[in-house]
């Protein structure tokens, strides 16, 4: 029967019998789309379980992938024209308003001509044609430029944008490009009088174009840009919000030594992530005399050039299809095409594991250029392969098997597994690992805040196998 066994009893059982698989289930990928031109990001409107919107970098198109049929709509949802397409520029980001189903608003981040020597970035609002729940066409004439800012060079443009749990729009900007943050006397990352090298936060539901939310750390300071939420970033390449905690995760590409992943706790503004004086957990090897050394927030993880050359930030998994991946951060490196997962408990990184071989085993060819991860409306994860024009969904390679290895007969046996909030699970038993013969043991539903479920068999048979499957 299902039981909420006290924690101290569970610890004793686990210590004696070690019945739970180590780390997470083996992962794989399923190809869900192909034929895209430099896919740079995928996302879905809130609550839309049927569609995935794919951003193409240089073409300026947003295409729709039907998740039921895996067919791509012939006509693009939107095509942005007049883009600059040098180096790291183009159409770089897409976010749907939290109330998209009601107001039809969505927002894009792209680079276009004019402004700085390498053009400028525009944060733009568009509106869909017709019913947002069903329409596959945007209204190109609804374009409203909310926030433009110049780009001195064609690389390090950032480009991600997304809505936080507070309903405000967050925007990631690079340091202006070139190398070693060479714009301005102290570099863009530390200069609070530029929008470059930052995370910005704006209220798109107030003001003529937008308003400055209360809590922005420099609101009311005439010497600093009031849109700034966090600073000290080089080129934040793909960010995400944890659906459960609201924390903002940032993958920041390094200069010559370290790649880093930062966490900005929900509701905490004004953090300095260290660039240019620091690169990852070390002092920037190219640090220039005279640059002020400031107190900085350490990354939760950094790695050197033996593992990769350009981090692609990912997501904390909060889907339902892979219970044991719950709470793990999934990320990759664009240059080395390697994948990893780890957990973060708010203090330290734990259980770092490389997953490259597992994920490539499920693809028809190796995933060569991980430009981005993305989520569908249910929180399942996807991977964009830039050069091959393909979209993959991350899945479990096999059912999660929990094995009783104790010679129990008629005794109490317990195990625990990670659970998605509100998800229902079937727990099954079998006398072997054969495909056939599994019988239902119990059905359990996780609470709204659950991260683990404990299952107890009050009269266990010796060497019985247990399997957990999301319903």
Task: Give residue 469's pLDDT.
Answer: 79
Query: Could you identify the residue written with the tokens 């910005």?
Result: 200
Indicate the burial class of 131 (C-beta count within 10 angstroms; 0-12, 13-18, 19 or more): exposed
Q: What is the mean pLDDT of residues 283-305?
A: 82
- β-pair partners for 315: 330
Q: Which of 348, 364, 396 is the last residue of a domain?
A: 396
Q: Which helix (H) or strand (E) holds 360?
A: helix 356-361
Q: Is the peptide bond before 117 cis (omega within 30 degrees of 0)?
A: no
| CA distances in angstroms from 141 to 44, 97, 196, 406, listed in the order given | 22, 18, 29, 67
336 pLDDT exceeds 90?
Answer: yes
> Could you give the CA distance from residue 50 to residue 66 in angstroms, rounded to a whole number?
6
| 262 found inside a domain | yes
Domain count, the chain: 2
When mean pLDDT is compared across 75-89, 198-212, 275-289, 407-421, the lowest value belongs to: 407-421
Residue 285 sits in the same domain as residue 201: yes
Do 99 and 118 share a domain, yes or no? Answer: yes
Position 2 in a domain: no
Average pLDDT of 160-164? 98
Distances in whole angstroms, Cα of residue 122 to Cα of each of 84, 159, 185, 347: 11, 10, 25, 36
408 shares a domain with 347: no
Pick from 40-54, 151-165, 421-435: least confident: 421-435
At 434, which CATH number?
2.20.130
Q: Is residue 383 part of a domain?
A: yes
419 assigned to some structural domain: yes
Instruction: Specify the pLDDT at position 24.
Output: 67
Residue showing tokens 């009311």:
220
1, pLDDT greater than 50:
no
- Per-residue confidence at 10, pLDDT binned at 50, 70, 90? very low
Tens digit of each residue's pLDDT (9 = 90 or more) over 180-202: 999 988 899 999 999 999 999 99
Residues with Cβ within 8 Å of 95's Cβ and at least 6 positions away in sequence, in order, are 43, 106, 107, 108, 161, 162, 163, 169
Shared domain check, 426 and 375 = no
pLDDT above 70 coverage of the chain, percent: 89
pLDDT at 463 over 70: no
How do residues 258-280 score in pLDDT, each as one tens digit? 999 999 999 999 999 999 999 99
Percent of the chain's residues with pLDDT above 90 = 71
Confidence at residue 171, expressed as pLDDT on a 0 to 100 scale: 99
Whether the predicted pLDDT of 411 surpasses 90: no
Same domain, 55 and 13: no
* Residue after which a domain boundary falls, among 335, 369, 396: 396
Q: Are residues 15 and 55 in the same domain?
A: no
Q: What value does the mean pLDDT of the chain take?
A: 89
Same domain, 355 and 456: no
pLDDT at 229 over 70: yes
Residue with token string 């599994």: 438
11 band by pLDDT with thresholds 50, 70 and 90: very low
Q: Would you say residue 66 has pLDDT above 70?
A: yes
Mean pLDDT of 305-324: 94
C-alpha 130/C-alpha 144 separation (Å) is 18
pLDDT for the residue 13:
32
Domain final residue, candidates 351, 371, 396: 396
Q: Are residues 239 and 282 in the same domain?
A: yes
Does the structure show a pLDDT above 60 at 67?
yes
CATH code at position 380: 2.120.10.30
Q: Are residues 309 and 363 in the same domain?
A: yes
User: What is the per-residue pLDDT for 18?
Assistant: 40
Q: How confident is the model at residue 289 (pLDDT cuts 50, 70, 90)?
A: low
Shared-domain flag, residues 15 and 38: no
Q: In the β-sheet with 228-231, what is the strand arrangement from edge to edge?
A: 161-163, 169-172, 198-202, 228-231
Q: Across residues 428-438, what is the average pLDDT?
A: 79
Question: Per the structure block, which two tokens stand in for 155?
Answer: 């690389």
d(CA 344, CA 362): 27
Instruction: Say what the pLDDT of residue 416 is.
Output: 77
- Residue 394 pairs with which residues in a beta bridge? 29
Over range 18-37, report the average pLDDT: 76
Q: What is the pLDDT of residue 115?
A: 82
Report the pLDDT value the prediction gives residue 26, as an integer from 0 to 100. Answer: 86
Quote the pLDDT of residue 406.
52
Are residues 11 and 58 both part of a single domain? no
User: Each residue of 246-255: b (16+ CB within 10 Å) or e?
Assistant: ebbbbbbbbb
Does any domain span residue 386?
yes
Say if residue 315 is in the same domain as residue 413: no
Q: Which domain holds residue 120?
A: 27-396
User: Is 151 part of a structural domain of the chain?
Assistant: yes
Strands (E), 151-257: 161-163, 169-172, 198-202, 228-231, 236-241, 248-252
């Amino acid at each position: 029967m299902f039981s909420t066994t006290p924690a101290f009893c569970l610890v004793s059982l686990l210590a004696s019998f070690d019945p739970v698989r180590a780390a997470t289930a083996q992962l794989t990928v399923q190809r869900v789309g192909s034929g895209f031109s430099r896919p740079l990001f995928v996302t879905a409107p809130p609550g839309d379980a049927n569609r995935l919107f794919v951003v193409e970098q240089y073409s300026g198109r947003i295409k729709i992938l039907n998740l039921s049929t895996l067919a791509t709509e012939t006509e693009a949802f939107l095509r942005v024209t007049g883009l600059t397409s040098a180096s790291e520029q183009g159409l770089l980001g897409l976010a749907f308003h939290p109330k998209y189903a009601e107001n039809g608003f969505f927002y894009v981040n792209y680079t276009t001509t004019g402004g700085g020597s390498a053009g400028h970035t525009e944060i733009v609002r568009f509106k869909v044609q017709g019913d947002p729940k069903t329409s596959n066409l945007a209204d190109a004439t609804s374009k409203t430029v909310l926030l433009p800012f110049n780009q001195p060079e064609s690389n390090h443009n950032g480009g991600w944008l997304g809505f936080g749990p507070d309903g405000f729009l967050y925007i990631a900007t690079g340091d202006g490009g070139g190398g070693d943050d060479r714009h301005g006397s102290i570099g863009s990352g530390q200069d609070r009088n530029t929008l470059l090298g930052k995370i910005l936060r704006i209220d798109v539901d107030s003001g003529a174009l937008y308003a400055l939310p209360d809590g922005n750390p420099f609101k009311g300071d005439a010497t600093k840009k009031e849109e700034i939420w966090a600073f000290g970033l080089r080129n934040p390449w793909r960010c995400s919000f944890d659906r459960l905690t609201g924390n903002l995760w940032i993958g920041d590409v390094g200069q010559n030594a370290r790649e880093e992943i930062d966490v900005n706790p929900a509701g905490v503004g004004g953090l300095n992530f260290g660039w240019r004086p620091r690169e990852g957990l070390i002092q920037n090897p190219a640090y220039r005399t005279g640059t002020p050394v400031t107190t900085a927030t350490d990354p939760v993880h950094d790695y050197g050039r033996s593992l990769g050359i350009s981090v692609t930030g990912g997501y904390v998994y909060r889907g339902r299809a892979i219970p044991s991946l719950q709470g793990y951060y999934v990320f990759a490196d664009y240059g080395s095409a390697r994948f990893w997962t780890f957990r973060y408990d708010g203090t330290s990184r734990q259980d770092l594991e490389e997953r490259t071989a597992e994920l490539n085993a499920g693809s028809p060819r190796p995933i060569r250029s991980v430009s981005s991860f993305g989520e569908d409306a249910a929180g399942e994860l996807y991977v964009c392969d830039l050069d091959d024009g393909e979209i993959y969904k991350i899945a479990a390679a096999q059912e999660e098997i929990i094995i009783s290895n104790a010679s129990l007969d008629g005794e109490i046996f317990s195990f625990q597994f990670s659970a998605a909030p509100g998800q229902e699970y079937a727990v099954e038993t079998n006398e072997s690992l054969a495909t056939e013969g599994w019988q239902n043991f119990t059905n359990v539903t996780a609470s709204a805040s659950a991260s683990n479920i404990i299952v107890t068999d009050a009269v266990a048979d010796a060497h019985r196998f247990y399997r957990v499957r999301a319903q």
